[in-house]
Every structure is written in C-alpha cells, then in structure tokens.
Amino acid sequence: MDRGGLKFLCVSLLALAVPLCSAAWAAPLPFSDGFENVAVGAYPSENGWLTLSFGKTASVSDQDYGTGTRSFRLDSWPWSARMDYVSLDEVPEQLSYQASVCVDPSLGWVGLVGFMTRNGYQAPMWNSFGVDAGYGKVLFYGEGTVDLAPYTPGTWCTVRADLDFSTLTADLWVDDVLVAQGVTITPSEFDDPVMGHLTLSQWGVAAGSYLEYPYINFANVVYFDDLAMWQPEESAVIDPEIDIKPGSYPNPINLKSRGGTPVAIFSTDTFDATSVDPSTVDLAGAPVLQRGKHGIYAARPGDVDGDGLPDLLLLFRTADFDPSQLQGGVATLHGATYDGQGIEGSDDVFLVPRH
C-alpha cells in the first residue's frame, strides 16, 4: 500500500537537510503556539520547534498574522522545502490538530501542515493539509488526496483534522466548517518499503518545494499561526428522560406481539430531542423501525408532554427486543445526536405474560 500520502514530495537536498534524531523536548498535549512570546526575526526554538529541512529561511514575523501580532514565516527554495516540527513522545489513538495558514499572494505557492519525516533527499508528509495558492484549493493528503475547499491567496485559512488512528479515519474542517467525514488516513505507525519502520511522531509545518512545476519561482513564502494539537475529551453521555408507551404506566412488553412499541425522548431547555439521529438508536437491542422500500425511520417530532418543546417519538418492532435486556424490569435506550454526542435513557417495563 502506498503510504506516501502527499502525491508530491517536499524535496530537500541532503546537504541542506537536518539529521532526524530524537529530541530531548517533546510537545506536551495539549500543545499550542501563537509565537507571541518570540522576538520578531528569531526562530521559536524556545517553544520546542526543530528544523527538518532548512529551505531558505524560517523566523517569527510581524508582517502578517492570524491572531495577535506574530506568526511563523517559512520560505523554501524550489529544490529544498522548508520544514519545521515539534516532536511527540507518543501518538494517541485520537488526536486533533489545527493551524491557520496564509500563502503570500505574490511570493507564495503552497503551505503544508501535518506529520513529516525525512529519508535522504525526500521529506514526505502524511495526514496533512495543503493550502495551495497555485491550484486555489485546500487539499488533504491521507491514504489519498481529498479536495476540500477553495482557497484565495493572501487570505488566512484555518484547517483542522480530528484523527482517529483506531479506525484510520479523520473528520476535516476548513474555517470551522466540517467539510469531510470518515476520510481514510495513514496509520500512526507502519512499515514503508523504502524508509523502513515509521512512527508519525513529528508534526509541523512546511513551505513546499516545487521543481516539478514548469516554472521556477525562487520564493515560497507562507505564514502559519495559532497552531494547536490536543486529545479530544470523551464526551459525557446525555441522559434524557424517555417514556416507553407514552401515557401508559406501567409499560407491558409482549415479545410475541406483531406490533410496535412507541417511545418518546423528551426535550428540555438544554437538550433538543430532535437532534437525536434515529439511525443510531436502539432500545433493548432493537433498532428504530424502518418503513417502505427506502427504509424511512419511524421517527417524528412532536410535543408529547405538552411543555411547548419538540420531543422525538420513535417506534420499535416489539418482536425485535432482546429478552435478556428486559429481565431486570428496565429497558435502556442508546443512541447519539447528529453531531456525535452519546445519549442513554431508561424506563420501567415488565414482560407479559409474566415469566
């Protein structure tokens, strides 16, 4: 399998490349850097930054910036990318990163954010964004190339990747808009046929080289700001109130019934029940009933309890319930909202005929 990620490589002359060695300093998570504590013209080594490929120059600048008054300015040669990174002690299964990128409108070509390494003349990147002024696009390089959004040279663009190495997928954001979900990514550790065993533990930014293009521009100026990495916190599961067979109590369940069992999920001032995705819901092991040749979920909004808030009414096929999940006199509903927030609610039931 091709793990190159980037369809072009950031090429660097061996004489200009920095030997890749383990650094004493490793970026703690969460990590963030807006370069505000570094003098203009200086290199941000005090913040943990290291050089992978010298390119032309890299220093903190006050010429252009995302927030604050400073940014990290990189400039490459056509034959040598400028690549700088921070090192991670380990790469967790879930990792998010974000960066703001501005490609100079007259001196820029492409800015890159992601994981990098070096082998001789080649310095490839993986699971990386390319903010490309030449093509006018924001791209992502995972196991393949994904076209995400248009890009206007000279403007600031914020990119974010939520990486899940346990499923080898990523959700991708451009300017706070979710533009792609479930994009296939490269593992955090793998064997490359040329470079050997690799661990993606160097994360950073680059101004790419571009000898493959039919022209040579002796500058590629890119500004980076508001760089961050973090581990997503596990979201607490919401515990909404549910009512099995609304208006009835107690709630008898006859597993031999050929009918359905309605269930209401109630909204509150802080929870919108209609945000629940019916395709994720199960009650005692049974999914929400689907109807018709198109498989429409039996789910509709409505004010079931008369409090003026829209609740969600779902229907389950009674025969689909798992008897082992009802023996304790309680049926539990699991699911998630459309934005991935987990929910779990329970109500009392009893089986009829009684066992």
Q: What is the mean pLDDT of residues 322-347?
A: 91
> Average per-residue pLDDT in the chain?
89
Whether 24 shows a pLDDT value over 70: the answer reads: no
Three-class SS of residue 279? helix
Residue 3 confidence class, pLDDT cut points 50, 70, 90? very low
Q: pLDDT per residue over 70-117, tens digit each?
A: 999 999 998 889 999 999 998 999 999 999 999 999 999 999 999 998
SS (HEC) of 86-138: EECCCCCCEEEEEEEEEECCCCCCEEEEEEECCECCEECEEEEEEEECCCCEE
* CATH (one of 2.60.120.200, 3.40.50.720, 2.60.40.420, 3.10.310.30) for 10-230: 2.60.120.200
Reduced DSSP (H G I as helix, E B as strand, rest coil) percent helix, strand, coil of the chain, to 5: 5, 45, 50
CA distance 113 to 234: 25
Which residues belong to CATH 2.60.120.200 in the chain? 10-230
Whether 181 shows a pLDDT value over 60: the answer reads: yes
The reported pLDDT for the residue numbered 322 is 94
Q: pLDDT per residue over 218-267, tens digit each?
A: 789 999 999 999 998 766 789 999 999 998 888 999 999 999 999 999 99
Q: What is the mean pLDDT of residues 152-169?
A: 96
Which residues belong to CATH 2.60.40 in the chain? 242-351
Domain 242-351: give its CATH architecture.
Answer: Sandwich (2.60)
Range of weakest confidence among 21-30, 111-120, 160-169, 273-282: 21-30
Q: pLDDT per residue over 259-291, tens digit each?
A: 999 999 999 999 999 999 999 999 999 999 999
**Which amino acid would we find at residue 266?**
F
Three-class SS of residue 278? helix
Residue 187 confidence class, pLDDT cut points 50, 70, 90? very high
C-alpha dihedral over 197, 202, 208, 209, to 10 degrees?
-50
As beta bridge partners, residue 76 has none
Closest of 203, 255, 251, 173 to residue 84, by C-alpha:
203
Phi/psi at 202 (5° precision) = -115, 120
The reported pLDDT for the residue numbered 195 is 84
Q: pLDDT per residue over 32-76, tens digit each?
A: 999 999 999 999 999 999 999 999 999 999 999 999 999 999 999
Given a contact cutoff of 8 angstroms between Cβ atoms, the answer to whether 309 and 334 are in contact is no
Residue 16 confidence class, pLDDT cut points 50, 70, 90? very low
Cis ω for the linkage preceding 92 (within 30 of 0): no
